[in-house]
Amino acid sequence: MSWAQAILVARGLSRGWGGVCSTALTGAPFSQVPPQAPRGLHCSAAAHNPDSSLVPRPPEPPRRPVKALAVHEELFRPALDGARDKANFVQAVQNFAEYNVHKRGHVDFIYLALRKMRQYGVERDLSVYNLLLDVFPKEVFRPRNIFHSIFLHYPRQQECGIAVLEQMENHGVMPNKETEFLLLQIFGRKSYPMLKLVRMKLWFTRFKNINPFPVPRDLPQDPVDLASLALRHMEPDLSARVTTYQMPLPKDSPDTMDPAETHIVGIQSPEQQSALARHDPARPIFVEGPFSLWLRDKCVYYHILRADLLPPEKREVEEIPEEWNLYYPMQLDLAYGRSSWDDYEFNIDEVEEGPVFAICVAGAHDQATLAKWIQGLQETNPALARIPVVFRLSGSSGELLASSDLEEPPPPPPEGQEEEDTQQRQQQGQS
Amino acid sequence: MSGCGLFWRSVAARFCRAPAAFAVSRRPLLTSPPSRAFAKELFLGKIQKKEAFPFPEVSRDELNEINQFVGPVEKFFTEEVDSRKIDQEGKIPDETLEKLKSLGLFGMQVPEEYGGLGLSNTMYARLGEVIGLDASIAVTLAAHQAIGLKGIILAGSKEQKARYLPRLASGEHVAAFCLTEPASGSDAASIRTRATLSADKRHYVLNGSKVWITNGGLASVFTVFAKTEVVDSDGSVKDKITAFIVERDFGGVTNGKPEDKMGIRGSNTCEVHFENTRVPVENVLGEVGGGFKVAMNILNSGRFSMGSTVAGMLKKLIGMTAEYACTRKQFNRSLSEFGLIQEKFALMAQKAYVMESMAYLTAAMLDAPGFPDCSIETAMVKVFSSEGAWTCVSEALQVLGGSGYVRDHPYERFVRDSRILLIFEGTNEILRMYIALTGLQHAGRILTARVKELKRGNVTTIMETVGQRLRDSLGRTVDLGLTGKLGVVHPSLADGAHKLEENVYYFGRSVESLLLRFGKTIVEEQLVLKRVANVLINLYAMTAVLSRASRSIRLGLRDHDHEVLLANMFCSEAYHQNLFTLSQLDKHSPENLDELVKKVSQQILEKRAYICTHPLDRAS
């Protein structure tokens, strides 16, 4: 690290790039590149949280010459009608090229543009990234000899190129041939942006489908749709049916705070239904929650209807009735079972849990709302009318509170903890 | 035409008048009483020679009787039954049905004292060959007598027999078998039809609906299975299945419109509903609560005839196809000169030969005195013949190429008709389970002591087993006494016989090790069971073929050399199939892909869709 920095510093000084040098030393944006440099080809950029990017943050830049930014900032002035879309963005980039034939300050412009992309809703548009890369002057930053390519040639520009690719990566945009061609023209084959591109091309395809439970890229905005998506996401049984027990009132209605008006969406599979029908009415069932489920950047809170595990002595042994199958015997009358050396099952210590009978997602997490859900469930599960339902709603949902709600004293977490502990103890006692 | 009618009536009358002749001929020759069922012994690696060798014969008189009877029936089927019209109209014409009735074909297995023909199983099989020429008629007749009225013959009381059988045998009444329900195929526990005893205890009130009832629209007598409340020996009330004889005249019996089927379109299949049908208690078939056994017995007894029925159809098919292959010319050569076409004929002939042999061997076993349990054998005949029919019919169609595919030729109808064979009377999958599990149960009982000793670690038994395995692995020659000086198999078939012996011996070994490995949990190993059943079917087929061909050689029957060819060909083929299957049954065998198969199917069934991405898809 220090070695690399020393080299860079030395190079920076020798080239008289005080500006670059100072950023390198203060370490804000540039320090993210050096760890990559010494490790060279073998390792990708340092792991950092997905939100971080190589683009310098606007609040920080007192170190950066503010004038240049201000100049470019006006390119991104909102249009007359206030619309911010791809056309405007493209227009801004083209304006930059027109306004600045020598492409002076293009690095700053690109950083600015990268920050603005989200506002214009083009952060997932490959052609826009290509357009941005096109802003770089061509052939200038290509290493001309072996020493150029050994040492970081035009580091600030390369860093900027990497920042563009990094932002692509964060938004899951796969570079195409044009990107590669542009990078070739700008930085040449032996450059860090090119390396980044190669790595992206290698790993993107491999990681793209790594999630066996894919979540759609654009989540539905409607809470009911989102809830049913979340429920489908959790429920493995494809026969399960999503039921909307209550639709939310339209947003503009005056009393949206009334919990009676929020949405209640539930899911139940036929198997869960029959398990509930078989449930011993003497044993209570519980509504528990809220538990959180993250779908991309949205969090959904759900509740479950569950029962405690039956104690082993009460479990019904599933016996095969004598006259069941008309065609072949369902069991053999033999005294011995599978031999131990033919038992391929791994010895897995499984924690058995009680059955879950249904899941719901509701807009409010209070008992009144959930009671409505139980009422709705009773229509398809008549047995539920006879079974006592206990609401075990933990106050500390872990739900993110909006800043306006902060005045309310949050429920003391230790209490919730205690409650859970006692529940666990109860369960242990029962099982 | 009227003359013909007269002739048939006279034939039928003759048969009705001559019960004595049949009383004699009902028992075909069989030298000794059966000791044990043949197939079950195969599971122990033994061949019960007495059961299958020599191939059963019928007496000269009996043969004459059969031929005299078969002649007019065959004439009727070839000349007057228009299968194409039956298929297109989806109905058997009334006059055809009338003639079938006058021929006595509605009461083939009904005893003579009740006005039926009282045919033995062998003769029934022989007639089946002719009836098989039209699938719709065959199915209609089978539904009537193989299952529809079989219950009355098997479990009915004297009064019930006297009351129903005469009119059923004459065809005045048609019978139907009502077991399947929307929610209950082979699962007897989910039968919903219910019979409740009325207050005066003289009637049962029947409510429920049955689906896919062949003859449902024609029948006036139904064998219906329904749940009744039965007081158990320990005083608890249980739901048990009871069989009833229900007449349409009891009231409340309605049927839906005939199903539009793929094949056997002439047969009538529909839903039958019972609504508050009052069934007198005298009409309980068997005991109250004993319906399950009745149903099982009926189903088990109804199967064997498929072998000869299919064989009859195939024999006709081979003739028709050969006619085409020898006349159609391509490249100045007739189709029959091409190897790939010839191969198809060999296949068809082989299948027909094998299923014929199996069918008649089984029929003779069933005809043996006493009540031999041949349910495994009949199931094997059914599985082999249905699958053989499907392959052969499709190969025959292939010989014709495009012209087989159009409706001008009967081939597409044969294909459609033969598809049902794999499905009804117990699907082949289910029957394979039955074959394997019944046999394994038998073997398991006998091997229990041995297995227990092995598990306990008895040194002598273990040493014995190890020694046996060692000798096996060194390649011992297996001799179960089929050939040799006093062998039952003719020397020219010795090769096939050795192969059979070897297969049987190693099958016994495999069964033993399977039982050791899985014990009673083998019920869950369906892929293993399927293989066990496949091997057993092959073994039984080999036995039947060897036995029949040996008899033909020894008697010097016409063209027995052709039979030897077919027999040797089949034995070789089956031998290699068996070797492969047996090696799949070994532990850790590389041929066994079960784990992969299970994984693939699990993943697909979890998603309920084909999983792979499209070959043209890109990652980016």
- Residue after which a domain boundary falls, among B260, B289, B318: B289
ipTM of this predicted complex?
A: 0.77
> Could you tell me if B184 and B258 lie in one domain?
yes
Cα torsion through B478, B483, B486, B490, rounded to 10:
170
pLDDT for A155-180, tens place per residue?
Answer: 999 999 999 999 999 998 999 999 99
Domain that holds residue B148: 38-170
Of A204, A326, A339, the CB nearest to B516: A339
Looking at beta carbons, which residues of chain B come within 8 Å of A202? none
How many structural domains are present in chain B?
3
**Three-class DSSP category at A241:** strand
Identify the helix (H) or strand (E) that includes residue A199: helix A192-208
Cα torsion through B5, B6, B7, B11, rounded to 10:
100
Query: What's the alpha-carbon Rg for chain A, to the nearest Å?
Result: 30
Exposed (0-12), middle (13-18) or buried (19+): which is A68, by Cβ within 10 Å? Answer: middle
Q: Domain containing B64 — which CATH number?
A: 1.10.540.10
Q: What is the mean pLDDT of chain A?
A: 76
Residue B406 lies in a domain: no
Is the pLDDT assigned to residue B602 strictly greater than 90?
yes
Instruction: Please give the average per-residue pLDDT across B273-277, as a whole number.
Output: 94
For residue A142, the one-letter residue type is R
More confidently predicted of B100 and B33: B100
Does B515 contact A at CB distance below 8 Å?
yes
Smallest CA–CA distance from B523 into chain A, residue = A331
A to B CB pairs, distance under 8 Å? 95
> Could you tell me if B439 and B586 lie in one domain?
yes
pLDDT for A236-288, tens place per residue?
Answer: 889 999 999 888 876 655 554 554 578 999 999 999 999 999 888 999 999 99
Greatest C-alpha distance within chain A: 94
pLDDT at A330: 84
Residue B277 lies in a domain: yes
> Could you tell me if B521 and B462 lie in one domain?
yes
> Could you tell me if B180 and B146 lie in one domain?
no
Q: What is the mean pLDDT of chain B?
A: 88
Is the pLDDT assigned to residue B182 strictly greater than 80?
yes
pLDDT at B95: 92
> Could you tell me if B189 and B147 lie in one domain?
no
Of B292, B455, B619, the CB nearest to A205: B619
Instruction: Please give the average per-residue pLDDT across A137-148, as a whole number.
Output: 89
For residue A390, list its beta bridge partners: A286
- Residue after which a domain boundary falls, among B170, B204, B225: B170
Range ranked top by mean pLDDT from A362-366, B352-356, B367-371, B483-487: B352-356
pLDDT at A388: 92
Q: Give dist(CA B91, CA B75) in Å, integer.
A: 21
Question: pLDDT-based confidence at A3, cuts 50/70/90?
Answer: low
Residue B248 lies in a domain: yes
Instruction: Please give the average per-residue pLDDT across A129-144, as a whole number.
Output: 91
Helix intervals (H) in B425-559: 428-456, 459-473, 494-518, 526-555
For residue B134, the one-letter residue type is D
Exposed (0-12), middle (13-18) or buried (19+): which is B103, by Cβ within 10 Å? Answer: buried
Of A236, A328, A332, the CB nearest to B522: A332
Smallest CA–CA distance from A177 into chain B, residue = B620
- Sign (positive/negative) of CA torsion B391, B396, B400, B405? negative
Query: What's the alpha-carbon Rg for chain B, to the nearest Å?
Result: 26
Smallest CA–CA distance from A176 into chain B, residue = B620
What is this structure's pTM? 0.82
Contact B521 A338 (CB under 8 A): yes
> Could you tell me if B541 and B567 lie in one domain?
yes
Instruction: Please give the average per-residue pLDDT across A44-70, as a whole number.
Output: 49
Does B445 contact A at CB distance below 8 Å?
yes
What token pair was written down for A282?
């003497």
pLDDT for B121-179, tens place per residue?
Answer: 999 999 999 999 999 999 999 999 989 899 999 999 999 999 999 999 999 999 999 99
> Could you tell me if B157 and B208 lie in one domain?
no
Those of residues 340-369 in A touching chain B at CB distance below 8 A are 342
**Three-class DSSP category at B329:** strand
- Residue after which a domain boundary falls, among B132, B151, B170: B170
Half-sphere exposure of A341 (CA within 13 A, CB side): 7
Q: Domain containing B226 — which CATH number?
A: 2.40.110.10
Q: Is position B425 annotated as part of the catalytic site? A: yes
Q: Give dist(CA B341, CA B400) in Å, integer.
A: 10
Choose from B228, B437, B512 for mutation: most chain A CBs within 10 A: B437
> Could you tell me if B482 and B536 lie in one domain?
yes
> Could you tell me if B111 and B194 lie in one domain?
no
pLDDT at A33: 40
pLDDT at A410: 41
Question: pLDDT-based confidence at A58, cuts 50/70/90?
Answer: low
Q: Give dist(CA B146, CA B161) in Å, integer.
A: 16
> Could you tell me if B67 and B156 lie in one domain?
yes
Question: pLDDT-based confidence at A1, cuts 50/70/90?
Answer: very low
Q: How many CB atoms lie within 10 A of CB B336?
A: 15
